[in-house]
Amino acid sequence: MAMSKIISLLIVVVAVVGAGFAAMTMRGGGKSASGAGEVEHAVAHTEEELGYFAFQRPFLVPIVEDRTVRALAVLRLTLEMPNTEIEYVRTKEPRLRDAMMRTLFALANEGYLGGDITDTETYEEIQGRLLTASRSLIDESVEEVLIVDFNRQEN
| Other CB atoms within 10 Å distance of the CB of residue 9 | 10
The pTM score is 0.68
The Cα 80–Cα 51 span in angstroms is 6
Quick check: 9 pLDDT over 60? no
Give, as one character, the DSSP assignment of residue 60: E
pLDDT in tens, 50-99: 999 999 999 999 999 888 999 999 999 999 999 999 999 999 999 999 99
Quick check: 7 pLDDT over 90? no
Give the residue extent of every domain in the chain: 2-44, 50-154
Query: Nearest Cα to 70, choosing from 30, 109, 114?
Result: 114
120-132 average pLDDT score = 96
